[in-house]
Amino acid sequence: MAFETNCVMLIRHAEKPAGGRVGIGPQGLVDPQSLSVVGWQRAGALVPFFAPVGHRGHVPGIERPLHLLAARPVQAHPSTRPRDTLLPLAEALALDVDEQWSTDDPPSKVAEHLRTLQGPALVCWRHEALPALARELLQRDEAPAAWPEARFDVVWVFRRAGVRWTFQQVAQQLLAEDRGQPIPRRVSARAA
C-alpha cells in the first residue's frame, strides 16, 4: 500500500466583502467573487502560520502542507475565495492550488481523495460544507456540527492514529479580531 497522508488541515476561506463593500481580486481590481481587504490580510498572514522559516513561529499542531486544495467555483457558489485564500501560501511554497473538487461533490469522495495524498494537506473550503467533510474524515460525529458564519480564524486538524483519525482545533490568532477559542461542538451556523 502506498504511503498515505497522516495530516489533513481544514480552513474556511478568508473574509469576504460585507455591508455593500466589494471584493478585491489578486490583481488589485474590484471583484465581487474575491476576498475583502481583511481577507487578503489573512491570506498573507497564513504564509508564516503554515510555512514558518526555520523553527521560528512554529504553531503546535500545524504542519507545512505539501498539498493545497480549494473548493472549485460552481454555479451555486461562484466565488474564488477558497483559491484566493491559498494563493499567497501557494506562491511561497511553490505549490499549485488543486481545484478538482467542489462543495457540490460528495464529501465522502473528497475525504477518500484526501486520505490518499502523500504528505500533509491543507484544504480551503466553504464554511457550510466543512462539518460534513470533517464527519467523513473522522467517520464519526466528533467535530462541531456547524461552522459559524462569523468565524474565519480556526484550523481543524485531522491526524491519522492507526486506523482512526483524531480531531483538534487550532486557533489562528493572526488578526486583531481573531478569537483564541475553538468552535463549540454544538453551535448554530449564524452564531459568532
**pLDDT tens digits along 71-97:** 999 999 999 999 999 999 999 999 999
192 part of a folded domain: no
Whole domain around residue 102: which residue ranges?
A: 7-171
- Chain-centroid distance of CA 106 in Å reads 17
Q: Model's pTM, two decimal places? A: 0.93
In 3D space, the residue among 185, 183, 172 whose CA is nearest the CA of residue 41 turns out to be 172
- What would the pLDDT profile of 12-48 be if each residue is shown by its tens digit? 999 999 888 889 999 999 999 999 999 999 999 999 9
72 assigned to some structural domain:
yes
pLDDT in tens, 162-190: 889 999 999 999 999 999 999 998 766 56
Q: Is residue 36 part of a domain?
A: yes
Model pLDDT, residue 53: 84
- Residue scoring higher pLDDT (1 or 133): 133
Q: Bridge-partner residues for 70, per DSSP?
A: 124
User: 155 or 5, which is more confident?
Assistant: 155
How many domains does one find in the chain? 1
Res 182: pLDDT: 95
Please report, for the domain that includes residue 160, its CATH number. 3.40.50.1240
Q: Please report, for residues 12, 37, 45, 165, 167, the alpha-carbon distance to residue 176 in angstroms, rounded to integers and kept in the order given.
A: 18, 14, 12, 32, 26
- Residue 2 has a pLDDT of 47
**Residue 179: its pLDDT value, please?**
93
Per DSSP (E only), the strands in 16-174 are 67-70, 97-98, 121-125, 154-161, 164-171
Length of the chain, please? 192
In a domain, 186, yes or no: no
